[in-house]
Copies of this chain bind each other. A is one copy, B any other.
Amino acid sequence: MKIYVQKYGGTSVGNPELIKKVAKKIVKRAKDGTGLVVVVSAMGDSTDRLIDLAHDITVNPPDREIDMLISTGEQVSISLLAMAIDSMKHPVVSLTGAQVGIKTNDIHKRAKILKVNSKRIIEELNNGKIVIVAGFQGITENNEITTLGRGGSDTTAVALAAALKAEKCEIYTDVDGVYTADPYIVPEAKKLDVISYDEMLEMASLGAKVLHPRSVELAKQYNVTLEVKSSFKECKGTIIKEVKSMEDVLRVSGITYDKKIAKVAIIGVPDKPGIAFKIFSDLADNNISVDMIIQSVMYENINDISFTVAQDDLNKTVSIIEKTAAELGARGVEYDKNVAKVSVVGAGINKTEVAKAMFQAMSDEGINIQMISTSEIKISCVINANDVEKAVKAIHSKFILNGIDIQHHSAI
């Protein structure tokens, strides 16, 4: 039996009407005898509503009990989806993470999947059933309920696809694929047919909201072919798979942005060995992940060190860093929430040429670049948040004008 894993996000199952629509789509697909395993997120904003309820009880709920609470969200949506499919007379069964046997470590609220037991799913598929699985959740060796953190349902879907050796893992969402830029900002942005794991990883990390980086990493590791496509429109989406370039073409996959970052700077740090280690180990110890790091040119043995963090982590970061700054005898800490990151992503991009075009586009628009960082397949700039849309538009059209085509990768 050919097995396909599908994943529907919270907006796709946000109310009973949408659930019935999704059910119809699933039943239609299952008609030809395809083995379908469907991973579902919690309905709409139900997870947020559960967390609000927890915060009505206490400001600091234990992580274990938060997992106990929010894992109910997916349990509700799998049962409702199974009811909808059953009402269409197709055999179906819903399974919680515990029932499937999605074993995780015991780090609550951001557990990692250790093992997926495919026995029960295979049995149910062999009985002709569509199998609906609760995304985002798992169970530890000691029977404790865990959740996987952000992007958890995508991760569940990819892990199941890997364990079941599925033909493909289809991620259904409210957009119909991965675009060269956000179509709301750049109407002429093109949908990509194919993109490599690494490029998607950069795109995902940089704020293209269609897929969580964890799930892309996992897909790469187990060579699971992903397809991002629309929950309700009938059209091809974007395939994410291993793409081997035959020649070293200059190829830009897309322009992305992320508004949910903040910039933090420690001003006037004495230039001594171990300073950077001290700063970033204090942050790492507190589970804060730092993205771009810039150390300014030293002047009179004094440095400025700047970095970006997720906006959600800003308060925590500042309180840690103020302590660190005092210990180091730095002059102070500054931070800015009103920043954003704009990036150009592409495999084998000729950095100088791309960088030049990117910087020129922003300069033409009078946009000031605050920080720059580069990797093998991307160039990112931190700019004022108010300039984001202007920057994305300008860069996107610059590449088209400059003949650095923002390509479909269907030739591979």
Mark A residues whose CB is within 8 Å of B. Answer: 16, 19-20, 50, 53-54, 56-58, 60-62, 64-66, 68-69, 71-72, 75-76, 78-80, 82-84, 86-87, 93-94, 96, 98-99, 120, 143-145
Known A-B contacts A68-B94, A72-B72, A98-B98; the reply to A80 vs B53 at CB < 8 A is yes
Are A79 and B99 closer than 8 Å at their CB atoms? no
Q: Which residues of B contact A50 (CB under 8 A)?
A: 76
Are B57 and A80 closer than 8 Å at their CB atoms? yes
A57–B111 Cα distance when bound, in Å, is 32
A62, closest chain B residue (CB): B86
**9 pairs of A and B residues whose beta carbons are closest in the complex:** A58-B87, A16-B56, A72-B72, A69-B79, A68-B79, A61-B83, A65-B79, A57-B83, A65-B82
Q: Which residues of B contact A60 (CB under 8 A)?
A: 87
A76–B321 Cα distance when bound, in Å, is 37
Are A78 and B84 closer than 8 Å at their CB atoms? no
Q: Which residues of B contact A62 (CB under 8 A)?
A: 82-83, 86
State the Cβ distance, A179 to closest chain B Cβ, in Å: 33
State the Cβ distance, A42 to closest chain B Cβ, in Å: 11
A144, closest chain B residue (CB): B99
Are B65 and A83 closer than 8 Å at their CB atoms? yes
Are A82 and B98 closer than 8 Å at their CB atoms? no
A181–B163 Cα distance when bound, in Å, is 62
What does DSSP make chain A's interface, helix, strand, loop or mixed? helix
Q: Which residues of B contact A75 (CB under 8 A)?
A: 68-69, 71-72, 75
> Within the complex, which residue of B69, B84, B145 is in contact with A80, where a contact is CB–CB below 8 Å?
B69
Known A-B contacts A98-B98, A99-B143, A143-B99; the reply to A54 vs B68 at CB < 8 A is no
Are A69 and B61 closer than 8 Å at their CB atoms? no
23 A/B residue pairs, CB under 8 Å, sorted by A: A50-B76, A53-B76, A54-B83, A57-B80, A57-B84, A57-B87, A58-B84, A58-B87, A60-B87, A62-B83, A62-B86, A65-B79, A65-B80, A66-B79, A68-B75, A68-B79, A68-B82, A69-B80, A72-B72, A96-B145, A98-B143, A99-B143, A120-B143
* Extra A-B contacts (16), CB below 8 Å, given A62-B82, A65-B82, A68-B82: A50-B76, A57-B83, A61-B87, A65-B79, A65-B80, A68-B75, A68-B78, A68-B79, A68-B96, A69-B75, A69-B83, A72-B72, A72-B75, A72-B76, A96-B145, A99-B144
Known A-B contacts A69-B79, A76-B69, A79-B65; the reply to A57 vs B94 at CB < 8 A is no
Q: Which residues of B contact A99 (CB under 8 A)?
A: 143-145
Are A57 and B143 closer than 8 Å at their CB atoms? no
A78, closest chain B residue (CB): B68
